[in-house]
């Protein structure tokens, strides 16, 4: 028995029903009556579990109605708690006073699925814009997604600050640089930011709804385009979730090659990020040096695997790009060059007092706040939370070898840079190990299709952090619902909390150090 | 400081001539591009990039044309923060419903004559996202487009090629 199951059954007794159709079997899915949904959260919070995701489904195809789900993480366990809601009264107890990230999850659920979190302190729409018609819920099965949506009148209600000398700075959605769109609104006095409010949803493309119209095979393509910079990690997460629902097994070699792709993606993105963060502190030298190293990684990818970002190379059943002995040599000599150059640049970073002046004590996300916000990935690890799926919930091949995960507690921009520095070193070590230990065999097996009426789950550590996929197969074994939780969905809250008290010119620096995905959040 | 200078000299000049375009053009794209920009834009082509709903893959590759290998500044291409200064809008897509108004406003804020280039398969025709309640499809569904750059995402060389095509009209 697991710790979370024990706690839940002790508190709620026989009202907890365990579901046997959830795969892999290590993930516990249980149903509780709707009025116990909040109580379950309280119980799990007392066992120090964190909220990983919350979402709603439309199960009318099963002859059911609507349902809400909350996924909790504690140590190496994941537990999903489910409650059914009737169609005519789709309300459920809000979790946002127990777990902060539920605040946005529930706004999003209400906007897109039309379930009502009762007791939620702020029910302004999220992702849904004010010019959408009122009672339109795209994720409902009754909604026809192919029709364009009308525009109505409406205005977003911003949080206001008043007082002498208080002014507002609206930024976006079209930003100054080559980045994704989103809106930030600062209230400031002089140079100091009093409050930052984010408004996202500009790149909402209806990805979750689109999944429901695709075959299992095409789903992998879409998963690879949830967030372009994390294409490998998203396709791995999608594939593992699908594979958990089928009887076939993926070959060892395929698993190891996936890990190779994943670590290369981590190195490429971290290299780009460190350069861009330094550039936001007006140290352009680093940007050009690091983007040179990043380009070298992408070029090797293109040469060996046929795509610079390794898009569409991970599919359910395995991978579609193999590596030869020549390719191994290419990667090893590339890594030698990169690690040598990288270490020289790290020394320059470390010795530069003007950089240190900007990076240290800027944009602090305290460990207490990071925990309260259930942060994940690099943001969590820079703020003292030792969270990494490769460690706590290892997907193959990470269950075969050790991964060293850097954890810092200062939670400032420097900590987020330094977590990246340490992770690049570790990923280089892992890739060298993978190339030495790569098992032989085929890279693809036909795994068949998921059985009807089952659900699959996967948690994969991408370069930003934990990515969760939860996929439900419908009665005809089609995709009934595909829930995507990019790390950005929770970590954007961290940025909002890290900014107040900093000066306005430090915002780009802080934002870049978080570097969350807009597309992965908006879906 | 000495380490910085040492690293700069050790790295040296890594900028490379551009490979010929995929269709087998013999003249190198770079020279043509430089010539066209020199003639039509007095040596300076200013670009405003707009993400109208992309997955950010195209943004990564547009960033890459600024790195030392591709070094688009040598042809006089640079990116601006304001559409008011722009000669060209480089738009990635699909255009999401929630970005439609912002894209139109950016278009209207750009002084004419200007060029609009749609980048990536999604910007060209909606790509895998197609047309739905949340996605309007390709960029030309919303604003007039002068040139298209295909690819998912297009490589940096393909992006520079596409800019050339747009400039030489």
Task: State the Cα–Cα distance between residues B118 and B97, nearest whole angstrom.
Answer: 17
What are the DSSP calls for A35-100, one per residue? GGHHHHHHHHHHTT-EEEEEEEEE-GGGT--EEEEEEEEETTEEEEEEEEE-TT--EEE--TTTST
Instruction: Mark yes or no for CB contact A348/B3 under 8 Å.
Output: yes
- Considering only CB atoms, which chain B residues are within 8 Å of A294? 67
Contacts of A347 in chain B (CB under 8 A): 3
- What's the confidence (pLDDT) of residue B25? 41
Buried b (16+ CB within 10 A) or exposed e, A447-471: bebbeebbbbbbbbbbbbbbbbbbb
d(CA B65, CA B55): 18
Altogether, the residues listed in chain B come to a count of 169
Any residues with CB less than 8 A from the CB of A521 and at least 6 apart, and which? A200, A486, A488, A489, A492
Return the residue in A155, A172, A174 with the most chain B beta carbons within 10 A, the one to mutate for interface testing: A174
Tell me the pLDDT band of B48, cut-offs 50, 70 and 90: very high
Low-confidence stretches of chain A (pLDDT < 50) are none
Length, in residues, of chain A = 523
B21: pLDDT strictly greater than 60: no
Instruction: Provide, rounded to the nearest whole percent, the portion of chain B with pLDDT above 70.
Output: 90
Q: Do B59 and A149 touch (CB under 8 A)?
A: no
Distance CA B78, CA B53 (A): 22
Inter-chain CB proximity B129 and A226 less than 8 Å: no
Q: Which residues pair with A170 in a beta bridge?
A: A185
List, as ranges, residues 489-518 from A with C-beta within 8 Å of B: 517-518
DSSP symbol at B23 = T
Whole-Å CA distances, B110 to A291, A471, B90, B115: 30, 44, 12, 10
Which residues neighbour B23 within 8 Å (Cβ) at sequence distance 6 or greater?
none
CA angle, residues B153, B159, B162, in degrees to nearest 5: 125
- A174 interfacial to chain B (CB closer than 8 Å): yes
Distance (Å, rounded) from C-alpha A220 to C-alpha A434? 24
Q: Is A156 on the interface with B (CB under 8 A)?
A: no
DSSP state of A395: P
Does A135 contact chain B (CB < 8 Å)? no
Q: In the structure encoding, which two tokens stand for residue A107, read together?
A: 């706004």
Write the DSSP string, A85-153: E-TT--EEE--TTTSTTHHHHHHHHHHHH--EEET-S----SSS-TTS-TT--TTSTTS-TTSPPP---
Contact at CB, B7 and A176, closer than 8 angstroms? no
Q: What's the rounded Cα separation, in Å, for the pair A471 and A452?
A: 12
Stretch 277-296 of chain A: residues touching chain B, C-beta under 8 Å: 285, 288-289, 291-292, 294-295
A143's tokens: 């909604």
B88: alpha, beta or left, given left = phi > 0 and alpha = psi -120 to 50? Answer: beta
Local confidence band at B24 (pLDDT 50, 70, 90 cut-offs):
very low
Select from B51, B57, B63 the Cβ nearest to the Cβ of A181.
B51
Which residue is closest to A286 within chain B, CA to CA? B4
What does the alpha-carbon distance between residue A122 and residue A173 come to, in Å, rounded to a whole number? 23
State how far residue A200 is from chain B, nearest Cα, in angstroms. 10
Strand (E) or helix (H) holding A469:
strand A466-473
- Does residue B27 surpass a pLDDT of 50? no
A179–B3 C-beta distance less than 8 A: no
Two tokens at B10? 């050790």
A397 upstream amide cis, omega within 30 of 0? yes
**Structure tokens belonging to residue A401:** 């070898």
Gyration radius (Cα) of chain B, Å: 17
- Does the distance separating the beta carbons of A231 and B57 come in below 8 Å? yes
Backbone angles phi, psi at A195, to 5 degrees: -155, 145
Going by C-alpha positions, the residue among A379, A404, A380, A381 that lies closest to residue A391 is A404
Contact status, residue A287 vs residue A345, Cβ threshold 8 Å: no
Q: Which residue of A has its CA nearest to B93?
A: A203
Q: Is A205 in contact with A523 (CB distance < 8 Å)?
A: yes
Contacts of B10 by beta carbon, 8 Å cutoff, 6+ apart: none
Which long-range contacts link A13-21 to residues 24+ away (Cβ below 8 Å)? A19/A82, A21/A453, A21/A454, A21/A455
Count Cβ atoms within 10 A of the Cβ of residue B121 and give its class: 0-12 exposed, 13-18 middle, 19 or more buried. buried
Mean pLDDT of the residues in chain B: 85
Does the distance separating the beta carbons of A205 and B96 come in below 8 Å?
yes
Looking at residue B169, its pLDDT comes to: 65
Structure tokens of A415? 């900590």
Task: State the number of CA atoms in the 13 A half-sphere of A31 facing the CB.
Answer: 10
Rounded to 5°, angle at Cα A421 from A418 and A424:
150
DSSP state of A503: B
Q: Flag if B60 and A292 touch (Cβ within 8 Å).
A: no
Reported as a pLDDT band with limits 50, 70 and 90, residue B28 is low
Q: Does A298 touch chain B (CB under 8 A)?
A: yes
Structure tokens at A446: 């036909």
* Residue linked to tokens 């998203």: A234
CB B67 within 8 A of CB B99: no
- CA distance linking residue B169 with residue B167, whole number of Å: 5
Torsion of CA A238, A240, A241, A244, to 10 degrees: 160
3-state secondary structure of A250: coil
């Amino acid at each position: 028995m697991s710790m979370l199951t024990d706690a839940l059954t002790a508190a709620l007794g026989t009202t907890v029903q365990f579901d046997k159709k959830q795969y892999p079997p290590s993930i516990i899915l249980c149903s509780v009556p709707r009025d116990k949904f909040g109580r379950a959260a309280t119980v799990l919070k007392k066992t120090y579990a964190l909220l990983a995701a919350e979402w709603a489904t439309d199960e009318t195809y099963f002859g059911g109605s609507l349902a809400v789900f909350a996924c909790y993480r504690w140590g190496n366990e994941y537990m999903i708690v489910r409650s059914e809601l009737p169609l005519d009264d789709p309300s459920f107890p809000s979790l946002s006073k127990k777990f902060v990230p539920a605040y946005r999850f529930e706004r999003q659920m209400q906007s897109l699925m039309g379930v009502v979190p009762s007791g939620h302190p702020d029910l302004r729409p999220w992702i849904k814009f004010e010019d959408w018609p009122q009672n339109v819920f795209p994720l409902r099965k009754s909604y026809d997604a192919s029709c364009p949506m009308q525009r109505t009148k409406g205005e977003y209600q911003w949080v206001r600050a008043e007082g002498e000398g208080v002014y507002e700075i609206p930024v976006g959605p079209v930003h100054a640089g080559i980045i994704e769109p989103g809106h930030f609104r600062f209230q400031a006095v002089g140079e100091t930011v009093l409050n930052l409010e984010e408004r996202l949803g500009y790149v909402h493309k209806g990805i979750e709804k689109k999944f429901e119209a695709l075959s299992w095979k095409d789903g992998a393509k879409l998963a690879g385009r949830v967030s372009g910079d994390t294409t490998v990690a998203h396709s791995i997460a999608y594939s593992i979730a699908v594979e958990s629902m089928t009887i076939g097994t993926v070959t060892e070699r395929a698993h190891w090659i996936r890990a190779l792709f994943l670590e290369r993606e981590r190195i490429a993105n971290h290299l780009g990020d460190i350069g861009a963060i330094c550039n936001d502190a007006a140290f352009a030298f680093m940007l050009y040096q690091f983007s040179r190293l990043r380009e070298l990684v992408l070029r090797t990818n293109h040469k060996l695997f046929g795509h610079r970002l390794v898009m569409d190379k991970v599919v359910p059943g395995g991978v579609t790009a193999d590596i030869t002995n020549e390719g191994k040599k290419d990667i090893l000599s590339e890594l030698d060059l990169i690690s040598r150059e990288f270490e020289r640049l790290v020394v320059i970073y470390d010795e530069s007092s003007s950089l240190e002046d900007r990076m240290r004590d800027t944009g602090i996300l305290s460990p207490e706040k990071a925990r309260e916000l259930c942060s994940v990935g690099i943001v969590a690890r820079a703020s003292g939370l030792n969270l990494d799926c490769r460690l706590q919930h290892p997907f193959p091949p990470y269950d075969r070898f050790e991964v060293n995960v850097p954890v810092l507690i200062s939670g400032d921009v420097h900590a987020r840079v330094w977590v990246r520095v340490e992770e690049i070193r570790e990923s280089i070590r892992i890739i060298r190990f993978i190339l030495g230990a790569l098992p032989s065999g085929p890279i693809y097996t036909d795994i068949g299709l998921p059985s009807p009426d089952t659900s699959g789950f996967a948690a994969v550590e991408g370069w930003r952090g934990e990515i969760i996929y939860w996929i439900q197969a419908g009665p005809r074994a089609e995709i009934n619902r595909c829930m995507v939780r990019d790390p950005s969905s929770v970590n954007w809250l961290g940025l909002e909390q890290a900014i107040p008290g900093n000066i306005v010119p430090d915002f780009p620096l802080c934002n870049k150090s978080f570097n969350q995905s807009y597309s992965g959040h908006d879906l | 400081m000495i380490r910085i200078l040492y690293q700069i000299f050790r790295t040296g000049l890594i900028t490379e001539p551009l490979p010929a375009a995929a269709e087998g053009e013999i003249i190198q794209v770079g020279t043509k591009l430089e010539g066209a920009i020199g003639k039509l834009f007095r040596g300076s082509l200013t670009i405003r990039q707009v993400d109208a709903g992309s997955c950010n893959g195209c943004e990564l590759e547009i960033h890459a044309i600024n790195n030392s290998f591709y070094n688009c500044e040598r042809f006089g291409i640079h990116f601006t923060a304001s559409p008011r200064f722009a000669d060209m809008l480089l738009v990635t897509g699909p255009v999401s419903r929630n970005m439609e108004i912002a894209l139109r406003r950016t278009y209207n804020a750009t002084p004419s004559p200007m060029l609009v280039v749609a980048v990536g398969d999604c910007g060209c025709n909606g790509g895998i996202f197609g047309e739905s309640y949340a996605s309007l499809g390709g960029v030309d569904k919303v604003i007039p487009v002068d040139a298209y750059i295909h690819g998912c995402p297009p490589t940096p060389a393909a992006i520079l090629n596409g800019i050339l095509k747009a400039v030489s009209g």
